[in-house]
Amino acid sequence: MTGMLTIAVLLPELLDTNGDASNARVLARRAEWAGHDARVVAVNSVIELPEQTDAVVIGSGSDADLETARDVLLTLQSRLRELVTSGVPVLAIGTGWELLSWGIEHGDGSVLEGLGIVAGRAIPRGERAIDDLVISSKYGRLVGFENHARAYTGAEGSPLGRVLSGSGNGSGTEGVVMGEVFCTHLHGPVLARNPVLADHLLTIILARHGAAYAAGERATQVDQIAQAARNQVAVRLGLAPEGDSAGNS
């Protein structure tokens, strides 16, 4: 067995505007459904980051809290680097991702330095992007919702996927993947809606314990609900529903 798996969710009090923190719960539940013990630990300061951390989730927050969140994250910077270097998967969403980048450029020209853990930086965009976001990725088609005020540049070399509908980074690509760090504008419960991505992360998590991941029976049932929810969005956007062969592209 793998012992207790620990999913750390960073600054959930500041960075959970859209329910992004729930992705930690999604990983823990799916791990449990696969027969492993798992827990979610909320990390609001460096001392709360468990010694043994198996995955990290960081969500999106309000612009008013950006600097406060960044300052707390700076105290976690070296621990985060260690985790990333040792292959612990990280899911970063929205402003959480922006804070891990080189920095955030504001409309007035000022820049908030990021942690420099992933390449690229957030730059102003004309209008806030608020819509469904559908991308094709190597894990399959991912469906979700985006709500962000900035575009992202410098991720063209290794995006999470290509935009099928919505805005994404602003250049036809969406997100960035560096090693096992996955960054996206797909906010809220992206892992529940797109279990292929969840299971990719769980496969990495368990491989680090020398175990293989096989989705539990409950996950298989729940994933049918997720597929129906994704298809509802896809059909509304004029995209082919998943089913027999559609979906992966």
Partner 1 sequence: MVRYAPAILIGRVVRKLARWRKPGGGSAIPGLIVNRIAPGFLARTLNSFPGGLVIVTGSSGKSTTTKMLVAALRAHGQTVFTNPSTANISQGLTSALLERASITGQVDGDIAVLEMDEGHGALIASTLLPRVVLLTNVMVDQIDRFHDSEMVTAMLAKIAARATEALVSNADDQYLADIAATMVPGVEIVRFGVTTEVLSQSPRGLGYTRTTTERMTADDGVLLTEVDGTRAELRAAGHTHTVRLPARGTHYAVDAASAFAAAGSILGPRFDARVAVTAISAIPPVFGRGEIVTVHGKQVEFVLVQNPASFQLNVDSLEAGTEQILVAIGSDVRDPSYFWPVDTSRLGRVLIASGSKAHDIALQLAYDDVQVDRIETDLAVALDDFLALPDPARGQKTIIFSADSMRRTRAHLRLATNSEEAA
Contact residues toward partner 1 (CB under 8 A) are 16-22, 25-26, 29, 62-64, 130, 144-145, 147, 187-189, 192-193, 222, 225-226, 228-229, 232
Which CB atom, from 96 or from 144, has the smaller least distance to partner 1? 144
Our CB check for partner 1 shows the closer of 84 and 205 to be 205
For residues 137 and 124, give the distance between their C-alpha atoms in angstroms, rounded to a whole number. Answer: 25
Shortest distance, CB of residue 84 to partner 1, whole angstroms?
Answer: 26
Query: What is the smallest separation between the CB atom of 20 and partner 1, expressed in angstroms?
Result: 8
Closest alpha carbon to 205 in 29, 31, 9, 43: 31
User: Would you say 132 or 156 has its CB closer to partner 1?
Assistant: 132
CB of 203 to partner 1, least distance (A): 19
Tokens standing for residue 159: 């995006």
Task: For residue 15, give the amino acid letter.
Answer: L
CB of 229 to partner 1, least distance (A): 4
* E strand or H helix at 217: helix 217-236
Task: Tell me if 95 sits within 8 A of 128, measured CB to CB.
Answer: no
The smaller minimum CB distance to partner 1, of residues 37 and 82, is found at 37
**Structure tokens that stand for 167 in this block:** 């805005």
Cβ proximity of 15 and 95 under 8 Å:
yes
